[in-house]
Chain A
Amino acid sequence: MTTKTINSIDRRRVVNMIMTSLTAVCAVFAIAVLVAILGYIGVRGISSLSIEFLTDTPKPVGEGGGIGNSILGSAIMTLLAAFLGLPVGIAAGVYLAEFGRNWFGNTVRFVADTLIGVPSIIIGIFVYTLVVLPMGRQSGFAGGLALAIIMIPIVARTTEEMISLVPNSMREGALALGAPQWRVTWNIVLPAAASGIATGAMLAIARVTGETAPLLFTALNSRFYNYYLDQPMSSLTVQIYNYATGPFEVEHAMAWAATLLLVGLILVINILVRFFTRKKF
């Protein structure tokens, strides 16, 4: 009887040890994958990176060329998306946090969360039928619009979260001093939540900078520097996709270099956001 009890305790200890070490193995595995991906991008990407690569336009295979126009295109479309999407997203977030404790607010919240999970290529198709077909051609505007639609629900939800962190006593104080409600939100609540809203916006911008699928048939691609929003526009991500799926070794190398740039940018944004928000949350 006693030996049996001891055995069972031993067995339980062994199970405990095995399972707890297995969970640690899982964590190590995730880190290994991250290191494997980032390390490979670093090693393969750095060798093709040069000033010429960063400023030139694509040339026929074997003649060099670069991704300058893609960098510009990504910047223009991301800025356009921020310009269109941030005000709407932030305003929606203000509504949800300040007035959204009702069935309508709950519905918006629910729809926003499900919209965040909708595949971005669907948004691409939507904008294609809505903008590209009537206009008769792909354009940087259509690309930026698709990215803006992707941003809106993300920004709305993070903004709501940040505004909810502002203590109620601040609102009550301002109201008690006779400020109208909109002044309370505009002059008290929004400034108090500003840094949080800004970090949420930065993360949303980082997210859409990495989007490819919604740009495939809205912005398409271009081989030239293009400053006009009604013309097809190149982007880093679509260019990476084209280079990666192409048959040439030289193009693959350029895909890695462009990826190094893209991932570097996205990681820097994420790490900075993390660094600046650590104290608060």
Chain B
Amino acid sequence: MANTGTKGDKVFQAIVFAAALSIILIVAAVIAVMYQSAVPSMERFGIGFLFGREWKPAQEEFGALPFIFGTVTSSVIALILSIPISLGIAIFLVEQAPKKIARPIAFMVELLAAIPSVVYGLWGIFVLAPLIREYIGPFLQASLGFLPLFQGRITGIGMLTAGIILALMITPIITSVVRDVLEAVPHTQREAALALGATKWETTMIVLGNAASGIAGAVVLGLGRAVGETMAVTMVIGNSPQIAASLFEPANTIASLLAANFAEATDEIYMSALIEIGLVLFLVTFMVNAFAKLLIMSVARKTNSAKHA
């Protein structure tokens, strides 16, 4: 808006500018404060910190690899399970369901995103974990038990449970972004495909192809959420710093390591190591989110220029 040159304008602008600046300052402060606290650990363990396999605070031995492994594996399981379901829901809502049905269903999917993490954790402990112990686990073992992934004892608490809970939690997020992306694809493309005799599904595939980078953005955004998800994972993953082949074994992630151990880290080097691994998590999620945003923005730009062309 144009400046009218009065004194009030300058004051007002300065106030709202300061508020906007504070968002950047918060992020800068988070990085600065965490970096400063992580320095003792960085100096002592160097880059080997990220590749160490042993985590024994009592012996001052800190290796982050089990947690990086657990974070990556649980997130990958979540994505594998969530991507087809999220795409299916989004396609159903945008391409198939009549508005009258689509709206309430879309709202219900959004409600899934409003449920707090700790509640997913509670549900995971008392509903999902027994379900995996009694039914899903034995079934997987009977059908795919020749793979090392599905061998060993099934307690219901472990990597697989964490992955499934994460999948449920990121599905509404991926769905909602894919919906926006599909809605941004110009209607003329669908009409053109249908006019050429394509079936509804073939038309959908063409729409998906045009929205590909936006869908990729949605998936990366879901990945970012899965990587940083804390409480629900902490409650069902078993919090054991090991790298096991079996998905039934307990594991740990960076976020749940922090949630479960930060309060009891009394000596300086232990806390410093925890903050260093937290800084890694922060930087990774920040970059993943930035990448997702770039991908999603590229779709918005493309469809805008298509509209103007």
Contact = CB atoms under 8 A, between A and B. Distances in A.
B89 A13 contact: no
- State the majority secondary structure of interface residues on B: helix
B4 A41 contact: no
Contact of A125 (B86, B93, B119, B258): B258
A210 interface: yes
Interface string B67-102: 000000000000000001111110111011100000
B199 to A, nearest CB: 4
Given A30-B112, A123-B30, A237 B23 contact: no
Interface in A107-124: 107-108, 110-124
A34 B2 contact: no
A111 B24 contact: yes
Contacts of B91: 23
Interface in A58-116: 87-92, 94-96, 98-100, 104-105, 107-108, 110-116
B30 A213 contact: no
Given A16-B199, A241-B235, A23 B115 contact: no
- State the majority secondary structure of interface residues on A: helix
Interface string B215-235: 000000100110111110001
A212 B231 contact: yes
Given A12-B199, A37-B115, A107 B88 contact: no
A98 B1 contact: yes
B112 A19 contact: no
A153 interface: yes
A55 to B, nearest CB: 22
Interface residues of B, number: 94
Query: Chain B CB within 10 Å — which of A16, A20, A98, A117 has the most?
Result: A117
A263 interface: yes
Contact of A117 (B8, B21, B26, B285): B285
Given A112-B23, A180-B8, A213 B230 contact: yes
Interface stretch (A181-189, A193-201, A222-230): A181-189
Contact of A129 (B23, B228, B275): B275
B188 to A, nearest CB: 21
Interface in B1-31: 1-4, 6, 8-9, 11-13, 15-24, 26-27, 29-30
A183 B8 contact: yes
Contacts of B39: none
A2 interface: no
Contacts of A30: 85, 89, 105, 108-109, 112, 171-172, 175
Interface of A: 12-13, 15-16, 19-20, 22-27, 29-31, 33-34, 36-37, 40-41, 44, 87-92, 94-96, 98-100, 104-105, 107-108, 110-126, 128-130, 149, 152-153, 156, 171, 175, 179-186, 206-207, 209-213, 216-217, 220, 237, 240-241, 244-245, 252, 255-256, 259, 262-263, 266-267, 270, 274
Can you list the 9 inter-chain pairs with the closest CB atoms, starting with the nearest?
A210-B116, A26-B88, A119-B228, A91-B19, A182-B12, A117-B289, A95-B16, A23-B92, A16-B199
Given A111-B23, A116-B289, 4 more contacts: A27-B92, A40-B123, A40-B127, A255-B122
Interface of B: 1-4, 6, 8-9, 11-13, 15-24, 26-27, 29-30, 33-34, 37, 84-89, 91-93, 95-97, 105, 107-112, 114-123, 125-127, 168, 171-172, 175, 199-202, 204, 221, 224-225, 227-231, 235, 255, 258-259, 262-263, 274-275, 278, 281-282, 285-286, 288-290, 292-293
